[in-house]
Structure 1
């Protein structure tokens, strides 16, 4: 499909950044990432969202809604990141945050390496691996997953990556009551935050999960 001219994309992104209280200067690197994603997506089918204007809302702004909740986090692992969501927008918005983009799919991992190189993002690295096979026990202050699996499944494959006191930051749509009820022993919900994504009418929640003290 033909991409819209840059103006509507920039306008939508800048309006969304303002609504999220994020600096307008982020528009340039985010649009560079979006252009790369659109170009690769035409060949490699990295995301089912094909419309660049929808990508602004569903990918960029949705990812950036998490940014206030990684304040104070030094090392984040984004599990099953796909084409870098939410990890790459977070790495752009939070240059002090070290982001490890965990993705086992080869073509997606190739795209991630190219994006990290081109943007460039010195605070991001790519781990081409399944989360459960990543041999970095206790290496991260937080792990996140945007659409990977249930809370219990995320903990099963990625819980070993968390440092003592670390947190799972799980991005969900409607509040997943049944998933919360099915948390494995030793884990608890620490907090739940409704997320407001500019331009998105659907519900979004951040569920923060921690180990029991």
Structure 2
């Protein structure tokens, strides 16, 4: 959750990593600790997360995101759309060195943080790309797309599904409204080439509250690419006419929809 400039004197102390973190991150546990420290310091100073999120970084953010790795196939390419402060992309990349992860984020201050974090953590399996999802159609082709708190599911699918290869899948981290969002988005998902969808849980027995994941699988023609390309063209024209207001942006670690 973006909060702008943190209030003076609002700095919170980062708690010690829970025991579950060692099991989840394995040999990259120390790198996960360093990432938590970066979020709690530079992330707060730059307004990527709110200072009140620091005491719950591990449970609510790092582990909540990292357990998504349980449902990601082995050795695939993965794009984290609207990556913000790197959630869920960086925790998943830390937990799964076999994955090739792209952090897609449109805002410069966020991509600057992401590039610094990737370098600091030595994540050779992670690439940072600055851009909006609709601008990446035809440029990125992924096995898996992930997102957390970026947009309602129907809108998110319009951004994410066109980036998938045939038979790929989108994994969207949602809260208790996951089933409701999925029900409301079914017509849109069908138009975008989805053939199967469900809500699954990740992290049962690892985190106190399992992560709700909306899983959307596409068929041979994912994303309604032609329609998405038309939307992208219209969005570009709208930004020129309207002074540059964007669409598929990212978010930080606060769990809410993005704020500008």
TM range (shorter): 0.7 to 0.9
For residues 73 and 81 of structure 2, the distance between their equivalents in structure 1, rounded to whole angstroms, comes to 19
Q: Which residue of 2 aligns with 1:17?
A: 21
Q: Which residue of 1 aligns with 2:212?
A: 205
For residues 73 and 174 of structure 1, the distance between their equivalents in structure 2, rounded to whole angstroms, comes to 30
For residues 157 and 212 of structure 1, the distance between their equivalents in structure 2, rounded to whole angstroms, comes to 16
DSSP 3-state at the match of 1:22:
helix
TM-score, structure 1 normalization: 0.85
Q: Which residue of 2 aligns with 1:43?
A: 45
Give the Å deviation of 1:27. Answer: 2.3
Q: Which residue of 2 aligns with 1:34?
A: 36
Higher RCO (Cα < 8 Å, 6 or more apart): 2
Equivalent residue runs for 1:96-135 within 5 Å? 96-135=98-137
Q: Which residue of 2 aligns with 1:144?
A: 146
Contact (CA 8 Å) 2:64, 2:207: kept in 1 or not? no
TM-score, structure 2 normalization: 0.71
Long gaps (5+) in structure 2: 1-9, 221-260
Q: Which residue of 2 aligns with 1:94?
A: 96
For residues 215 and 75 of structure 2, the distance between their equivalents in structure 1, rounded to whole angstroms, comes to 13
Q: Which runs of 4+ in 1 moved over 6 A?
A: none
Change (3 A) 1:60 1:24: same
Change (3 A) 1:75 1:115: same
Equivalent residue runs for 1:49-198 within 5 Å? 50-137=52-139, 139-181=141-183, 182-183=185-186, 184=188, 185=191, 186-196=193-203, 198=206
Contact (CA 8 Å) 1:81, 1:145: kept in 2 or not? yes
Give the Å deviation of 1:212. Answer: 4.5
Stretch deviating more after TM superposition (62-71 or 190-199): 190-199
Change (3 A) 1:189 1:28: same
**Number of residue-to-residue matches in the alignment:** 205
